[in-house]
Amino acid sequence: MPVAPRIARIALDRPLDRLFDYRIPEGLSLTPGQRVRVPFGRGSTVGLVVDLATTSDVPPARLRAVNEAPESEPLLSPRLLELLRFGARYYHHPLGEALLGALPPALRHGDPLPALTPETLWRITPEGTRALADGLARGRRQQAVLRALEPGHAATALDRATLAAATGLQLAPRELRDYEGRGWLEAITPDPKQPPPPTTSDHDLTPDQRAAVEALTPGTGAPLLLEGVTGSGKTEVYLQMADRVLAGGRAVLFLIPEIALTPQLSTRIQQRFPGQVALLHSGLAEGERLRAWEAARQGQRRIVVGTRSALFTPLPDLGLIIVDEEHDSAFKQQDGFRYNARDLAIKRGQLEQAPVVLGSATPTLESLHAATTGRYAHARLTTRPDGSRPPAVETVDTRVHLPDEGLTAPLLDAMQQTLAAGHQCFLLLNRRGFARVLACDACGWVAECPDCDARLTIHAHNPRAVCHLCGHQEPRPQRCPECGEPLAQRGLGTQRLEQALARHFPTTPLIRLDRDSIRHKGALEAALDRIRQLDAAIVVGTQMLAKGHDFPQVGLVGVIDVDQGLFSVDLRATENTLQLIVQAAGRAGRGSGGGRVLLQTGHPDHPLIRGLDAADYPAMVAPLLEERAAAEMPPHGHLALVRVEAGDAETTHRHAERIATHLRSAATEGLRVLGPAPAPRHRVNRRFREQILLQSTRRNPLHEGLARARHAWQADDLPRGTRIAIDIDPVSLA
Ligand code: ADP
Ligand code: ZN
Ligand code: ZN
């Protein structure tokens, strides 16, 4: 007779590479994926069952028993467990942290699962329609709500969250009940098994869009790269794909880089599928996040829209994963479990037999390569629905036309013309602040942070100089501490550019978009609304301006200064700068009439600049791919970084040397170990950093060597305060 497994192997939220064995008490039965509370040290902690066994290496007398299981069913499915096990192995991260980190914080802390209440949907009544037409509904809020629900508008019935998003109002349940009392609205409770039909699209798909939707192969884990020029209607394609998959009874996971920066997209999805969307991102309160997660797990909401950690949401019968703006580095977690949600999405798709769509106008070289070599299917949208293409990029030679505070005469002329025609000018400058640095022209001294390898920056309305790395602030020095000469402000940031523009165009509305200007809640939405309402206006901003916004009035995009990014030594700086230019260019000429894109550069003849073509990204980055092939860099090689950090330079270096030695002795044929070398930012916040780069043309030698070396160095004694981090497929070498 087989022995029933009475041992559970349990993952705990501890930075240790092992599972913990516990005895399963009589009367309790456990399955992998289930949550448990177990004794640990003198207290107790939350864990997840990973495996069951009949025997343990722990002697029976020392084997402790599981305290309880808060739920009788597993929270994570076998496939999700498998995904996280794979992830922990691939990123060389402790399984317990990866697994527990996949749960909403409230569950990790031991809170119970919430009870779900069915969501109410709101519909306008004929009386409500009349009240709107007759002016009976007079309040601004009343009108906004009724208008959002008018027949023929977005949808027939919306849930409160979607209504709030659609109207931009904070809507309490009471307010909606009040309108119901007046007879304007009626509440309906949908049956989760019979969700309301999606509202239909306003558009007929173009032939290219239809071909992209057809390229999807439901029921397989096949990845598809959807490469479409900016404004080509990728979102519409996603929505139609989602529609199909939902109609087939399966769920959809929609990953986006950042919710806060692109509020329009999540609203659009919510409006299209009212009452079916669970939003998941770190900006939510713990309770909200838990309810959204649970609604997805129970199949009450069958579309999850979320940022990278939403990848691990349990969704019964997952049928499609969409990764929008797949090139965005926000998909890579930059500390702890350093996974890339885009790459793990591909793995989840395989495990769940669900197709994965990676969408972008500027795909990563990795994804492009996978598509051109046939590993991914490839669908292209080369024109916009109205047949137009992104405008050509014109260059302004800054050696001939010297910029004054960042602005050249040809750019100023083009701005005049654009504004005179009633269109908007977008100016991209990827640097915040007022003047970048305080420098002494006499002796070359530059104000630096005392704790980091970084220069202090100056912001308007802040009398202090600020370090962007650690937040250190100090009074602005007036004179050079070395030679006593007065200091000059050098360099250009968005705030200073804004002031210069105000002098050139004193009567034109001017809007600035950067992290400093949108710090307050609602500030970004307000700025985006204002841009949409204005005709002629100037918008200055950082890369934030290049994110997926759809503004019809942009006649000119000016790129102030990207030379530094284009010719940087960092592996991806060039690629990222090209992506930024193309994304920014994509904001121009969407409405009536074409648009212009002017790029100010001191290198107009450089092949990369001459090759700039926002209408054909793959052709434009072909030379970069060749360079990567020659250097055996991604996608033609694989990289990992091992970072070592400690409180003083000596200790850091000694340790980095040791780890490099472990790596060299564990390395087999095909793995190169480079370094240790001081990190590009050697000192940050009074800590020192060195790094070792691993490079290999095949994945296996890299992962095997790293696993062996890690095992060896874990046996070493680390001095207190020393930290080692492994970064697989790093997005930046800095
Ligand atoms: P992308 O996501 O590729 O940047 P969007 O999906 O935002 O593009 O579409 C850009 C604009 O084109 C939007 O205003 C959208 O409503 C419109 N659009 C999309 N598909 C069509 C279509 N088939 N016919 C007409 N307009 C469309
Ligand atoms: Zn000086
Ligand atoms: Zn600092």
Residues 6+ positions from 366 with CB-CB distance below 8 Å: 634, 635
CA of 443 to the centre of ligand 2 (A): 4
The closest-lying atom of ligand 1 relative to the alpha carbon of residue 550 is: 7
Q: Residue type at 633?
A: M
Residue nearest (by alpha carbon) to ligand 1 atom 27: 385
Q: pLDDT by residue (tens digit) across 171-205?
A: 888 999 999 999 999 988 776 666 666 666 667 89
Atom 4, ligand 1: residue with shortest CA distance: 231
Least distant ligand from the CA of 256: 1
Measured CA to CA, the distance from residue 322 to residue 335 in angstroms comes to 24
Distance CA 491, CA 514 (A): 17
Residue 335's pLDDT band, with cuts at 50, 70 and 90, is very high
d(CA 631, CA 638): 11
d(CA 146, CA 162): 13
Please tell me whether residue 554 adopts helix, strand or coil conformation.
strand
What local confidence, expressed as pLDDT, does residue 435 receive?
52
What pLDDT, in 10s, does the model give residues 229-245? 988 999 999 999 999 99
pLDDT-derived band at 351, boundaries 50, 70, 90: very high
Ligand 2 center to 564 CA (angstroms)? 25
3-state SS assignment for residue 464: strand
Please give the structure tokens belonging to residue 372.
């051109």
First-residue to last-residue Cα distance in the chain: 59
What is the band of 152 on the pLDDT scale with cuts at 50, 70, 90? Answer: low
Measured by CA distance, the residue closest to atom 14 of ligand 1 is 550
Q: Which ligand approaches the C-alpha of residue 451 most closely?
A: 3
The pLDDT confidence band at residue 156, using thresholds 50, 70 and 90, is low
At residue 154, does pLDDT exceed 60? Answer: no
Going from the Cα of 449 to the center of ligand 3, the distance in angstroms, rounded, reads 5
675's CB contacts (< 8 A; 6+ apart) are 656, 660, 690, 691, 692, 693
**pTM for this structure?**
0.89
The tokens describing 386, both together, are: 């109205």
The ligand that comes nearest to the alpha carbon of residue 380 is 1
Helix (H, G, I), strand (E, B) or coil at 564: helix
Gap between the Cα atoms of 53 and 32, Å rounded: 11
Residues near ion ligand 2 (CB < 5 Å) are 440, 442-443, 445, 480, 482-483, 485
How confident is the model over 639-661, as a mean pLDDT? 94
Contact in structure between 239 and 269 (CB atoms under 8 Å): yes
Residue 265 Cα to ligand 1 midpoint, Å, equals 12
Compute, in angstroms, the gap from residue 153 CA to the centroid of ligand 1: 17
Which residues have their alpha-adjacent CB atom under 5 A from ion ligand 3?
A: 449, 451-452, 467, 469-470, 472
Q: How far is the CA of 464 from the centre of ligand 2 (A)?
A: 20
Q: State the Cα–Cα distance between residues 310 and 281, nearest whole angstrom.
A: 7
Q: Which two tokens stand for residue 284?
A: 């939510």
Over residues 667-685, the mean pLDDT reads 88
Report which bound ligand comes closest to the CA of 454: 3
Which ligand has its closest atom nearest to the C-alpha of 383? 1
Nearest CA to ligand 1 atom 18: 233
Task: Determine which residue's CA is closest to atom 26 belonging to ligand 1.
Answer: 385
CA of 306 to the centre of ligand 2 (A): 51
Query: Looking at residue 47, what is its pLDDT?
Result: 98
Ligand 1 atom at shortest distance from the alpha carbon of 228 = 3
**How many angstroms separate the alpha carbon of residue 202 from the centre of ligand 1?**
10
Given a cut of 80, is residue 214 above it in pLDDT? yes
- Give the model confidence (pLDDT) of 92-116 as tens digits: 999 999 999 999 999 999 999 999 8
Give the Å distance between the CA of 435 and the centre of ligand 2. Answer: 18
Q: Which atom of ligand 1 is nearest to the CA of 232?
A: 3
* 210, 235, 262: residue to mutate for ligand 1 pocket, most atoms within 8 A of CB: 235
Q: Which atom, in ligand 1's list, is nearest to the CA of 205?
A: 23
- Whether 308 has a pLDDT exceeding 70, the answer reads yes
**Residue with the larger pLDDT of the pair 259 and 319:** 319
For residue 52, pLDDT over 50 is answered with yes
The ligand whose atoms approach the alpha carbon of 205 most closely is: 1
Q: Over range 635-640, report the average pLDDT.
A: 95
Nearest-atom index, ligand 1, CA of 229: 3
Which ligand number lies closest to the CA of residue 479?
2
Residue 692's DSSP bridge partners are 642
Which ligand does the CA of 586 lie closest to?
1
Nearest residue CA, atom 5 of ligand 1? 233
Residue nearest to atom 20 of ligand 1 (CA): 233
d(Cα 92, Cα 632) in Å, to the nearest integer?
23
Q: Which numbered atom of ligand 1 lies nearest the CA of 206? A: 23
What percentage of the chain carries pLDDT values higher than 70? 95
Please give the residue that has the higher pLDDT: either 571 or 96. Answer: 96
Pairing of strands 554-559, 596-601: parallel
Written as six digits, the tokens of 207 are: 């032939």
Return the ligand 1 atom nearest residue 552 CA: 14
Tell me the CA–centroid distance for residue 207 and ligand 1, in Å.
13
Q: What is the CB < 6 Å shell around ligand 1?
A: 203-206, 209, 228, 230-236, 385, 548, 550
Which residues make Cβ contacts (< 8 Å) with residue 570, sequence separation at least 6?
A: 680, 732, 733, 734
CB of 121 within 8 A of CB of 190?
Answer: yes
How far, in Å, from the CA of 385 to the mean position of ligand 1? 6
Taking 80 as the threshold, does the pLDDT of residue 592 lie above it?
Answer: no
Ligand 3 centroid–CA 456 distance in Å is: 8
User: What is the best residue among 254, 262, 550 to mutate for testing ligand 1's pocket, by most ligand atoms within 8 Å of CB?
Assistant: 550
Q: Mutation test of ligand 1: which of 201, 206, 210, 236 has the most ligand atoms closer than 8 Å to its C-beta?
A: 236
Query: How close is the Cα of 493 to the center of ligand 2, in Å?
Result: 23
Residue 725 has pLDDT above 60, yes or no: yes
Looking at all shown ligands, the one closest to residue 264's CA atom is 1
Burial of 583 (0-12, 13-18, 19+ CB in 10 A): buried
Least confident of 132-141, 333-342, 702-711: 132-141
Please give the pLDDT value at position 283. Answer: 80
**What is the Å distance from ligand 1's center to 158 Cα?**
23
Structure-model confidence comparison of residues 368 and 390, the more confident one: 368
| Span from the CA of 476 to the centroid of ligand 3 (angstroms) | 15
Amino acid at 269: I
Distance 550 CA to ligand 1 centre (A): 9
